[in-house]
Amino acid sequence: MSRSEQAIFTNMCMIYDSTGQILVQDRVKSDWSGITFPGGHVQQAESFTTSVIREVYEETGLTISSPTLCGIKQFQTSAGERYVVFLYKTNEFTGELQSSREGKVFWIKKENLFDYQLAHDFEKMVHIFESEDDSELYYYQDGEHSYSKFL
Ligand SMILES: Nc1nc2c([nH]c(=O)n2[C@H]2C[C@H](O)[C@@H](COP(=O)(O)OP(=O)(O)OP(=O)(O)O)O2)c(=O)[nH]1
């Protein structure tokens, strides 16, 4: 069995403040549209931490510090690649909020999150961001069907 494989690494960050607000992005790309948190692809030879700081800056105008890794989501793409999303959170940030072409970013009350049109499976990702016990949202294949589980 090969010990290497094709993989796509991405990140996402939940930024929260002391008043119970979280920063969401209304993602416009049709491949996975809806309300989510900012994030994107890790570049070649970039550290995972640097990549989430860079993506958050590009998509929100905010400079975050001390992002804490709180979990992972992963699934296999139709091309057979392992798609990995590293999930971070932080409440340390500076700068002026600025949306990008990826989608409008805005603060909402955390308890109102589920009133919005969320990206597909984002609700399950929120569980990982918040859970003390689960740290992975993993998709597995059973025949033609894909199922998720929390680990
Ligand atoms: N396309 C897609 N993105 C997903 C899924 N699940 C999931 O968490 N994401 C997240 C991971 C990343 O935070 C973000 C995808 O990154 P992106 O395509 O916006 O990448 P990017 O900002 O680097 O933009 P680009 O330069 O590649 O256009 O969406 C999914 O099923 N499909």
pLDDT digit string, tens, across residues 112-138: 999 999 999 999 999 999 999 999 999
Task: Please determine, for residue 144, whether its predicted confidence score (pLDDT) is greater than 90.
Answer: no
Which residues are within 8 A (CB) of 68 and not within 5 positions of it... i.e. 6 or more apart? Answer: 88, 89, 90
pLDDT band for position 9 (cuts 50, 70, 90):
very high
Q: Judge if the beta carbon of residue 51 lies within 6 A of ligand 1.
A: no
Q: Is residue 2 part of a domain?
A: no
In a domain, 19, yes or no: yes
Residue 128, ligand 1, Cβ within 6 A? no
- Over pLDDT 70: what percentage of the chain? 100
Residue 10 CB–ligand 1 contact under 6 Å: yes
pLDDT for 1 equals: 85
| pTM assigned to the model | 0.97
- Domain of residue 106 covers 7-150
Are the C-beta atoms of 128 and 134 separated by less than 8 Å?
A: yes
- ipTM for this prediction: 0.96
Q: Which of 75, 17, 70, 7 is nearest to 41 (CA)?
A: 7
Can you give the CATH number for the domain in which 102 is found?
3.90.79.10
Residue 58: inside a domain: yes
In a domain, 32, yes or no: yes
Q: Could you give the number of structural domains in the chain?
A: 1
